[in-house]
Chains A and B, each alone.
Chain A
Amino acid sequence: MPLFSRPASAARRGAAEATSARAGRRLRRAGAVAAAAAVVLALSACGGGAAPQSADGKVELRFSWWGGDKRAQLTQAAIAAFEAENPNIKIKPEFGDWSGYWDKLATQVAANDAPDIIQMDEKYITEYSSRGALLDLSKYDIDTSKFDEAALNAGKSEDGLTGIAAGINAATILANPAVFKAAGVELPDDSKWTWEDFERIAAEVTAKSPKGTYGAAAYGTDEASLGVWLRQNGKSLYTSDGKLGFEPGDIAEWWAFLKELSEKKAVPSASEVVEAEAAPLDQSGLATGKNGLAFWWSNQLPALEKAAGGELQILRFPSKTGTSADAKLWYKASQFWSASSRTKHPEETAKFINFLANNTKAGETLLADRGVYPNSDVRAAIEPKLTPADIKVVKFIDQIKGELGEAPAPPPKGAGAIQEIVKRYTSEVLFNRLSTEEAGKKAVDEMKSAISS
């Protein structure tokens, strides 16, 4: 409440100044009334933080996530299943786009009005948990015995178990076979393709396609593809002690190859890349048939197929050597279930998270939308219910299991700013406003200061 006590006292001060005029007592009384009203107003604005317990003894929990329409439908169904089992708990959903999600969450936490259950991302989990905003779930009744170990560890830190992995993901390249077919180009063999193949094939598709269609989307709008590139070159995005795991020269090479792709028209023009950045998933180049290949997370395939209205194919990243083990992919916790450390109902919150993570009924509604289920029992139990798109995702995750590189270090505090920096300097490079070396130096400087502060 300290946030709000100030305006009230300030109001009194402001009123006191006004009284120094002749008007006297009457005004003072009016000022006091105003100040009191301000306090009431401030308190009621704060009210969201108070325990919302309705008259009939029901506990109400707020649950927020980011994602599109499909995810909203699936998640609502899971909520309904939980409420049917637990008539005393009511879950109030709050959801929106990725871009607005984090601004909103930060404001809610600052105002002591955080949702009880928070869908969390690895980029932000350290930020929030190291600042005490997330609940240590290991102290509550959540069963993790059936969990994939790597997925479970991703949610652990010195602040405890602050996130339960909602799904397992991998960085992939998705292909739109319709674009390849129209261009008369064979789909690449992802078990042995190299970056040179990627360049050659994408350029060929562009050349044989109508104007405005490109063989591949450009990378450089997020850090996942940078992470893959760095791992293939023996570096990493972050080190285990929370520092940057690469030098300006490494990222400069990555941009140099992007420029080469751009010059050969394997990827769209700089302006088109910038415009594509802002497009939501269902208007992306891959979904609208403007790109043959694009960089996505594996769990996004079902939603993209729905938007594209046709089948898509999951491919491994190309490697330097042409052997799939050198693609250095990894399992990522797609997102986490976290709880606000200030929740008034930690038991009920944990109960709901436990339901999402371990209950087959939750699995049957959520399917693979947030990635492959980390709980092996649930994963097996829901298999018959999976859609063909989900099955593709699960198969891919199983397929690459033997060729994974070592698990990457978790993103440190401040890592949420990295994507924006990558994006900005990618466009500096694509518009030829900075050389790749200059961009590398400046970007690394900015990233270092973002994660050290």
Chain B
Amino acid sequence: MSAISELSSISRRKGKATAEEKKANGRDNKAAYIFLLPWLVGLVAITIGPMLMSLYLSFTDYNLLQPPEWTGLDNFTRMLSDARLHNSLRVTFTYVFVGVPLQLAVALLIALVLDKGLRGLPFYRSVFYLPSLLGGSVAVAILWKQIFGTTGLVNQVLAMFGIQGPGWISDPSTALGSIILLHVWTFGAPMIIFLAGLRQIPVMYYEAAKVDGASTLQQFRRITMPMLSPIIFFNLVLQIIGSFQSFTQAFIVSGGNGGPSDSTMFFTLYLYQKGFGQFDMGYASAMAWFLLVIIGVFTAINFIASKYWVFYDD
């Protein structure tokens, strides 16, 4: 907030600037643009350019080997009757709407525990953050595969209790659950943010509540939750956007095919398969834009809904 108000005050001042000041500003601006240049080049060449290209390709039949051919809305109408695409949407939505709330709940819980003034907090914070650094990586996905294999660690432990576990990641009924678990396990990033948010809540509120005889649960509901709601909202938006785009874990765990039986066929994975496996880059581009619309819609819903539950202190 403060940065924005500062900016606006600068612009207000600028209105009455003298010629000399303008000159100085101009020099500043030039320097700013030069410093911005690397970022700008990256934005244009690596983000905006390819995006516009893919928007164009989404209206074409493009097999990578020959020049694209304009086909209008053909790719989009094909999406309506593509059963595998519908399945991939189902998988992705399940992942997002089960995985994100679970992950945030775990992150909040751990943050609350750590916030209680534990000795050696920096150590625990690092330990809990570690999975976030590793979770998206190829190595951990491979490890996950081993742990949850038919003869993996989990089933060996279960076997000690006489339980014959399924092949967690190779059985269509449990494969997606295993990947969601991997996602939940990477709760570190939202946890750190929650922890910072908790630190911001003035202690006096709790002290006052205690004097009035509020229980811990009441304190949590009436003080912590409202005060933390902007942080929860922030995490929710980021995690939902990220989860819709998630790719690596499913790609590695399923060996790139979204198997078994398409049970971990994420939207992004199907997009990749269509584009690079089946030479259907036009269709894949159309899918990418469809995903962008989905993410946009859910982010908008998020922002609209936030008016009813997010509480800003200032």
Task: Kindly state the separation between the CA atoms of A417 and B270 in the bound complex, as whole angstroms.
Answer: 13
- Structural contact, A10 and B48, CB atoms closer than 8 A: yes
Chain A 96-111 against B: per-residue CB contact (8 Å), 1 yes, 0 no? 0001001100110110
Residue of B45, B257, B281 touching A41 (CB-CB under 8 A):
B45
Residue of A38, A131, A212, A271 touching B49 (CB-CB under 8 A):
A38
Within the complex, the shortest CB–CB distance from B42 to chain A, in Å, comes to 9
Chain A 394-418 against B: per-residue CB contact (8 Å), 1 yes, 0 no? 0000000000000000000010110
Q: Is the CB of B167 closer than 8 A to any CB of chain A?
A: yes
Whose C-beta in chain B lies nearest to the C-beta of A450? B278
**B residues less than 8 Å from A10 (CB atoms):** 44, 48-49, 52
- Structural contact, B255 and A103, CB atoms closer than 8 A: no
- Structural contact, A427 and B172, CB atoms closer than 8 A: yes
**B residues less than 8 Å from A272 (CB atoms):** 150, 167, 170
Residue of A34, A416, A424, A427 touching B40 (CB-CB under 8 A):
A34
Within the complex, the shortest CB–CB distance from A267 to chain B, in Å, comes to 14
Q: Is the CB of A133 closer than 8 A to any CB of chain B?
A: yes
Which positions 44-80 of chain B face chain A at CB distance < 8 Å?
44-45, 48-50, 52-53, 56, 63-67
Chain A 41-60 against B: per-residue CB contact (8 Å), 1 yes, 0 no? 11000000000000000000
- Structural contact, B66 and A38, CB atoms closer than 8 A: no
- Structural contact, B277 and A275, CB atoms closer than 8 A: no
Q: Is the interface of A mostly helix, strand, loop or mixed?
A: helix
Known contacts A30-B33, A128-B65; is-contact A271 B167 (Cβ 8 Å): yes
Which stretch in A1-9, A69-77, A151-159 binds the other chain? A1-9
**A residues less than 8 Å from B150 (CB atoms):** 269, 271-272, 275
Which stretch in B95-103, B192-200, B220-228, B259-267 binds the other chain? B259-267
Task: Kindly state the separation between the CA atoms of A428 and B37 in the bound complex, as whole angstroms.
Answer: 53
Residue of A6, A102, A271, A420 touching B53 (CB-CB under 8 A):
A6
Task: Kindly state the separation between the CA atoms of A34 and B41 in the bound complex, as whole angstroms.
Answer: 6
- Structural contact, B260 and A109, CB atoms closer than 8 A: no
Within the complex, the shortest CB–CB distance from B109 to chain A, in Å, comes to 33
Known contacts A275-B170, A431-B171; is-contact A11 B49 (Cβ 8 Å): yes
Known contacts A274-B170, A431-B172, A450-B278; is-contact A420 B45 (Cβ 8 Å): no
**B residues less than 8 Å from A428 (CB atoms):** 261
Q: Is the CB of B256 closer than 8 A to any CB of chain A?
A: yes
What residues make up the interface of A, taking CB atoms closer than 8 Å to B? 2-3, 6-8, 10-11, 14, 23, 26-27, 30, 33-35, 37-38, 41-42, 99, 102-103, 106-107, 109-110, 127-128, 131-133, 212, 269-272, 274-275, 277-278, 414, 416-417, 420, 423-424, 427-428, 431, 433, 450, 453
What residues make up the interface of B, taking CB atoms closer than 8 Å to A? 26, 29-30, 33, 37, 40-41, 44-45, 48-50, 52-53, 56, 63-67, 145, 149-151, 166-167, 169-172, 254-257, 259-262, 272-273, 276-281
7 closest cross-chain pairs (CB), A and B: A7-B49, A271-B167, A278-B255, A274-B170, A131-B65, A110-B64, A271-B170
